[in-house]
């Protein structure tokens, strides 16, 4: 966050037309302000505006999982600077979103280049764990994380490898995503009481506290192994050795789930993504959409995305990796090398679903 004095200094620099600033990060809201646009036109007039990059470009489209109206105003760039190259970046754009982004920004399809990468992450193990409101799934998570610690301690070769790198046996870095702030606090407290180094992270905390938590987590400090966070956590954070991402409740969209789960294993090493799912959570997610939205087309997009995520959780006949790549429109699906619960033990998966969801209705 830039303070007032720094912003004024920056505007003065831009106002020269030949700014010392060579790379500038700006929010869409700031881009919409008249004073910023005026200064950027000065820079452009002197031939100093080299290119424009729009990150999280899915936010431009109402079909995107995190639509923000301010992103639509970025079309001003193409209208005002038709010759300046623009690059749009996103990891979670289905075909409808890509088409929308191109149209809204007014990009010229005749000189447009589209580059895509597979959404498959072969080093990630995807798993759905079924729950209901009558069972406390914190015990399930504690049993799992402590079993990971035990396996590390019992594996002589692994233990020697970690000790040689001066790494703790119990440092299994991860993120647990929750919907509500109070869940962050309560769950982090309970994990600490059970011997797991966990800290909450949400918008209600002081900036100093959040920054300290983030720094210590990135540096793998004792007591900061697990971040229990709302979905606001993760933007711009690139920690390579995240070994697990857990969704404590059903996220609001398929794209949101994929983006958050994708923060695991960025170093290419094996990591796990666990979703705790219940039909009560599904119903709560639907209620949140009904309560939060008044835009009909956006609401339809959110329902469609949420339904795809529910299908992902309910399906016990298909590889998780296959479902993810299919959702994002990929034709070729890479082979899953037992990197999901369906491939690992389909019968156990079906039994768990029948046991935990037997009293609930699926429609």
* Mean pLDDT within 50-59: 94
| pLDDT band, very low/low/confident/very high, at 160 (cuts 50, 70, 90) | confident
Q: Which two tokens stand for residue 81?
A: 């600077």
Higher pLDDT, 66 or 210: 210
- Assess if residue 16 is contained within a domain: yes
| pLDDT winner (highest mean) among 105-114, 138-147, 164-173 | 138-147
Please check the confidence at residue 310 and state whether its pLDDT lies above 60.
yes
- Assess if residue 88 is contained within a domain: yes
**Domain identity same for 216 and 344:** yes
**Domain identity same for 329 and 181:** yes
Poorest-pLDDT segment among 35-39, 90-94, 170-174, 317-321: 90-94
| pLDDT band, very low/low/confident/very high, at 229 (cuts 50, 70, 90) | very high
Please check the confidence at residue 363 and state whether its pLDDT lies above 70.
no
| Percent above pLDDT 70 for the chain | 96
**Domain identity same for 66 and 128:** no
Which CATH number does the domain housing residue 34 bear?
3.40.50.300
Higher pLDDT, 97 or 1: 97
The pLDDT of residue 293: 63
**Domain identity same for 234 and 352:** yes
Q: Tens digit of pLDDT for each residue in 92-142?
A: 888 889 999 999 999 988 889 999 889 999 999 999 999 987 778 999 999
**Domain identity same for 344 and 258:** yes
| Percent above pLDDT 90 for the chain | 72
| pLDDT band, very low/low/confident/very high, at 359 (cuts 50, 70, 90) | low
Q: How many domains does the chain have?
A: 2
Please check the confidence at residue 234 and state whether its pLDDT lies above 80.
no
- Assess if residue 117 is contained within a domain: no
**Domain identity same for 179 and 307:** yes
- Assess if residue 142 is contained within a domain: no
- Assess if residue 230 is contained within a domain: yes
**Domain identity same for 228 and 324:** yes
The pLDDT of residue 1: 61
**Domain identity same for 351 and 205:** yes
- Assess if residue 162 is contained within a domain: no
Apex CA 320: angle with CA 275 and CA 150, to 5°?
55
Please check the confidence at residue 236 and state whether its pLDDT lies above 70.
no
pTM of the full structure: 0.88
**Domain identity same for 190 and 96:** no
Please check the confidence at residue 360 and state whether its pLDDT lies above 70.
no
| Beta strand ranges found along the chain (DSSP E) | 52-54, 86-88, 124-130, 174-177, 198-201, 226-229, 244-247, 271-277
Q: Which two tokens stand for residue 308?
A: 């795809």
* Mean pLDDT within 161-188: 90
Higher pLDDT, 357 or 222: 222
- Assess if residue 247 is contained within a domain: yes
The pLDDT of residue 277: 97
Poorest-pLDDT segment among 78-92, 189-203, 242-256, 323-337: 323-337
The whole domain housing 226 covers 124-133+173-357
**Domain identity same for 316 and 199:** yes
| pLDDT band, very low/low/confident/very high, at 67 (cuts 50, 70, 90) | confident
- Assess if residue 54 is contained within a domain: yes
Q: Tens digit of pLDDT for each residue in 250-288?
A: 999 999 999 999 999 999 999 999 999 999 999 999 998
């Amino acid at each position: 966050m830039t303070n007032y004095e720094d912003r004024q200094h920056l505007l003065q620099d831009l106002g020269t037309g030949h700014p010392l600033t060579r790379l500038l990060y700006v929010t869409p809201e700031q881009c919409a302000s008249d004073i910023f646009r005026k200064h950027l036109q000065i820079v452009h007039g002197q031939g100093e505006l080299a290119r424009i990059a729009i990150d999280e470009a899915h936010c431009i489209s109402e079909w995107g999982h995190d639509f923000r109206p301010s992103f639509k105003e970025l079309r001003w760039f193409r209208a005002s600077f038709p010759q300046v190259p623009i690059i749009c970046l996103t990891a979670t754009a289905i075909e409808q979103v890509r088409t929308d982004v191109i149209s809204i920004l007014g990009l010229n399809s005749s000189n447009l280049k589209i580059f895509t990468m597979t959404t498959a992450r072969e080093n990630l193990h995807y798993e759905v764990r079924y729950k209901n409101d009558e069972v406390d799934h914190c015990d399930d998570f504690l049993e799992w994380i402590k079993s990971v610690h035990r396996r590390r301690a019992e594996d002589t070769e692994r233990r020697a490898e970690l000790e040689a790198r001066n790494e703790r046996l119990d440092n299994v870095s991860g993120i647990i995503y929750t919907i509500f702030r109070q869940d962050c606090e309560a769950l982090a407290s309970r994990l600490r009481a059970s011997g797991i180094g966990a800290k909450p992270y949400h918008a209600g905390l002081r900036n100093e506290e959040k920054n300290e938590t983030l720094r210590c987590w990135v540096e793998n400090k004792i007591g900061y192994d697990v971040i229990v966070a709302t979905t606001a956590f993760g933007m711009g954070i690139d920690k390579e050795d995240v070994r697990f991402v857990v969704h404590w409740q059903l996220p609001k969209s398929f794209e949101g789930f994929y983006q958050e789960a994708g923060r695991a294993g960025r170093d290419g090493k094996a990591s796990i993504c666990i979703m705790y799912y219940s039909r009560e959570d599904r119903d709560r997610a639907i209620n949140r959409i009904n309560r939060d939205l008044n835009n009909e087309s956006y609401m339809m997009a959110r329902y469609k995305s949420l339904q795809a995520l529910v299908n992902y959780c309910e399906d016990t006949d298909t590889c998780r990796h296959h479902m993810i790549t299919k959702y994002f429109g990929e034709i070729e699906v890479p082979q899953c090398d037992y990197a999901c619960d369906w491939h690992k033990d389909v019968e156990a998966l079906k039994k768990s679903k029948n046991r935990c969801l037997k009293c609930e209705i699926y429609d």
